[in-house]
Amino acid sequence: MTSSPIVALDGVAKRYGAFVALHETDLAIAEGEFVTLLGPSGCGKTTTLRLIGGFEQASDGRIAIAGQDVTESPPYRRPVNTVFQDYALFPHMSVAENIGYGLSVRSGRLEKTERRRRVAEALALVGLEGMADRRPGALSGGQRQRVAMARAVVRRPRVLLLDEPLSALDVKLREGMQVELKRLHRELGITFLMVTHDQTEALALSDRIVVMREGRIAQIGSPTDLYDHPATPYVADFIGAANLLEAEALGREGDVCAFRLVNGATLRSRRREAAGATTGSRVTLGVRPERMMAARPETGAANALDCIVMERLFHGDCLRIELAPEGGGKPLFAELARTALPATVSAGSRLAVHIDPDDVMVFDAGGGK
Amino acid sequence: MTLTRRTFPGFAALFSLPLAWVLLLMVVPYAIMVAVGFWTRQFPLFYPDFQFGNYAQILADPQYTTVILRTLKIAALVTVCALLLGYPLAYFLVFTIRSQKVRNLLYMSVIVPLWVSYLLRAYTWKIILGTDGALNSLLVSTGLVSAPLDIFLYNQTAMVVTLVYIFVPFMVMPLFTVLDNIPRRLLEASEDLGVGPFMTFWKVIFPLSLGGVVAGATMTFCLSFGDFVAPVLVGGPDGTMVANLLQTQFGAALNWPLGSALATLVLALVLILLQLSSRLDRAGRIDL
């Protein structure tokens, strides 16, 4: 990041008595970025968003938005607007009044005609031209969501904060709104900071994802970064899915490193992080289900695990196979192409799964949690 | 909804008592009251009749209209004062007090006086406002006045003060409920949109609390309108209210027909008021 960040958290922490919602955190967001705070509930992502919005006061650290220190500023003096999880539309106002609400007060006072123009513009932006006089109570969930978006962007904030904006919508609608969000971000050109617990949403929309866990940032990176090079087993499992296997480093053979699993089988990894494992150390291996390939058992395929098929689940575009490694160990999941597995392979069959050494992720000793 | 044979006995058992209660203790007495309002009186007896003489007398005699207007005025004053006192209190309880425990405690302290006899609470003000009362003792002991004053008791101000004190819980209760039901998210949204706390109150909180204002005002007004204790205890010679007139007609004056006609008028007034208030309430009703 070369230019100065639009949002900068500097050692920001939030405590409620003895409970720490957010440990000291640094975060810089560049102008125009679409950043997602991702994590399970209670990880501190919403707290972070609320601190930036001004709804919570930081216990420690400084928050700057657009170069201004806003740590002590109330929400109404910050150049950000929020799309709330439950939309928080004013029930006693029409759609147009809701959208124009932030334009009628002193800080954003505009000429009446200009105000009307901006409201109409915002309505058009979210495709609700005919709804100006409706009450929020007469709108569907998706329409309310659009009103909330329009209301938040009409004041032209420097940063748009989105608190689980799509979580209240059903699956089909949510996918449509993802496209809408992406389009809005491109058209408005402002910074989006979104909170979500839905990893597919985060992967699909973000320029960068901030994975959070227990009040701390676990990893920051682009979606492909996080997917291809997760720093911890936690991130590997949260972004996409991962089979996590306990193993012991056996040593290097050229550019690959060998690891022995609990059932005695050997897996090799050619990834750069494998080089750091010292012989004899305990590590966690991660293998994505979609990176496993079916091989015939006992053909001696390189880097393969012999398993027993426990379940075969048809997922439409793929097959999801639950496998028990021969000789013991945690069950594994593999995602295979429909054509990759003969119909005769079913529960009880023996099956070997082959994994390219480039796809065996290695996490440090003790990092198995 | 049609009742099946199977549920009818249970239904009858469940509702016959309340139905009988309403019929015997409300519908029948009201019917009698309205009917007697048309009777004639030839002292000391009343005769069944159907004539509007009683109503004509009430409307023609300035004594009655003066008292009715005074009662309306006092009830309106009590309502306004209770609102001005109760709204900030309810607002304070809901939005300022953060601890749920403290909030409930303070809310209960507003409600608890209702458990004390209404007469006692009215009588308290006689003690406070009287010539040798608490207020005068305080004024004399602080040297603000040299001798006890008799201006506090036995006037309409004393009545308003007493009635406000007695009925303010009925204002606070609906206000508290309605304010407590306003989602905090809406206030956050308002501030998020650049609107400060003062305008947030006028543009979001107050409009959304109108239902409570209407409910509280209606209760306070109707209760004050029908009160007859405050005039007797702390009201002066010009403190008579409608309820006192009614009492006199049924008691000392022994003119039940006139009393019934007056009571019917009061009832009609209150019903019109309730109708208005429920219309206002419906117009402002919002799904939160």
Which residues in chain A are closer than 8 Å to B194, comparing Cβ atoms? Answer: 76, 102, 105, 107-108, 155
3-class SS at A171?
Answer: helix
A270 and A230 share one domain: no
| Average of per-residue pLDDT across A193-209 | 94
How far apart, in whole angstroms, are the C-alpha atoms of residue B235 and residue B230?
Answer: 6
Among A104-113, A205-214, B152-161, name the one with the lowest average pLDDT: A104-113
The whole-number pLDDT of residue A368 equals 38
Which residues in chain B are closer than 8 Å to A75, comparing Cβ atoms? Answer: 188, 191-192
Residue A299 scores a pLDDT above 80: no
Nearest CA in chain A to B193: A102
A45 and A188 share one domain: yes
A146 and A184 share one domain: no
**Domain membership flag for residue A368:** no
A217 and A312 share one domain: no
A41 and A182 share one domain: yes
The whole-number pLDDT of residue A107 equals 52
Residue A2 scores a pLDDT above 60: no
Q: Do A101 and B190 touch (CB under 8 A)?
A: yes
The whole-number pLDDT of residue B98 equals 86
A58 and A71 share one domain: yes
The whole-number pLDDT of residue A367 equals 40
CATH number at residue A11: 3.40.50.300
- The confidence band for A89, taking pLDDT boundaries of 50, 70 and 90, is very high
ω into B231 cis (within 30 of 0)? no
Q: Residues B188, A84: contact at Cβ < 8 Å?
A: yes
CA angle A236–A239–A241, rounded 5-degree value: 65
User: What's chain B's length in residues?
Assistant: 288
B187-212: pLDDT as tens digits: 999 999 999 999 999 999 999 999 99
**Domain membership flag for residue A336:** yes
Q: Do A81 and B286 touch (CB under 8 A)?
A: no
Is A53 in CB contact (< 8 Å) with chain B? yes
A252 and A344 share one domain: yes
**Domain membership flag for residue A369:** no
* Domain C-terminal end among A153, A185, A203: A153
HSE-CB of B245 using CA atoms within 13 angstroms:
26
Buried b (16+ CB within 10 A) or exposed e, A314-336: eeeebbebbbebbeebeebbbbb
Q: What torsion, rounded to 10 degrees, do the Cα atoms A31, A35, A41, A44 define?
A: -40
A13 and A114 share one domain: no
Residue A100 sits in which domain range?
Answer: 88-153
Q: Do B287 and A108 touch (CB under 8 A)?
A: no
**Domain membership flag for residue A339:** yes
A358 and A301 share one domain: yes
A189 and A292 share one domain: no
| Average of per-residue pLDDT across B139-154 | 83
Q: Residues B192, B103: contact at Cβ < 8 Å?
A: no
Q: Do A88 and B203 touch (CB under 8 A)?
A: no
The whole-number pLDDT of residue A366 equals 43
Q: Do B188 and A84 touch (CB under 8 A)?
A: yes
Residue A116 scores a pLDDT above 80: yes
Is B185 in CB contact (< 8 Å) with chain A? yes
A240-272: pLDDT as tens digits: 889 999 999 988 888 888 999 988 888 999 888
Residue B9 scores a pLDDT above 80: no
* Domain C-terminal end among A121, A153, A185: A153
Among candidates A240, A220, A213, which has minimal Cα distance to A45? Answer: A213
Q: Which two tokens stand for residue A276?
A: 């750091």
Domain count, chain A: 3
B15-29: pLDDT as tens digits: 888 899 999 999 999
Sheet hosting strand A266-269, strand order edge to edge: A266-269, A256-261, A243-253, A282-287, A361-363
Q: Do A82 and B287 touch (CB under 8 A)?
A: no
Residues 6+ apart with CB under 8 A from B180: B94
Residue A185 scores a pLDDT above 60: yes
Residue A110 scores a pLDDT above 80: no
* Domain C-terminal end among A205, A220, A240: A240
Nearest CA in chain B to A88: B186
3-class SS at A261?
Answer: strand
A130 and A212 share one domain: no
Q: Residues B259, B39: contact at Cβ < 8 Å?
A: no
The domains found in chain B, sorted by start residue, are 53-283 (1.10.3720.10)
Q: Do B192 and A81 touch (CB under 8 A)?
A: yes
Q: Where are the alpha helices (DSSP H) in chain B?
A: 8-22, 28-36, 53-60, 62-91, 100-111, 118-129, 134-141, 156-180, 184-192, 197-200, 206-208, 210-225, 229-233, 242-250, 256-283
ipTM computed for the complex: 0.83
CATH number at residue A254: 2.40.50.100
Residue B130 scores a pLDDT above 60: yes
- The confidence band for A69, taking pLDDT boundaries of 50, 70 and 90, is very high
3-class SS at B242?
Answer: helix
A40 and A168 share one domain: yes
Q: How does the average pLDDT of chain A come out, rounded?
A: 89
Q: Do A75 and B192 touch (CB under 8 A)?
A: yes
Residues 118-137 of A with CB under 8 A from B: 137
Which residues in chain B are closer than 8 Å to A156, comparing Cβ atoms? Answer: none
The C-alpha of A191 sits at a distance from chain B's nearest C-alpha, in angstroms, of 16
How far apart, in whole angstroms, are the C-alpha atoms of residue A120 and residue A133?
Answer: 12
* DSSP strand pairing (A282-287 vs A19-29): unpaired
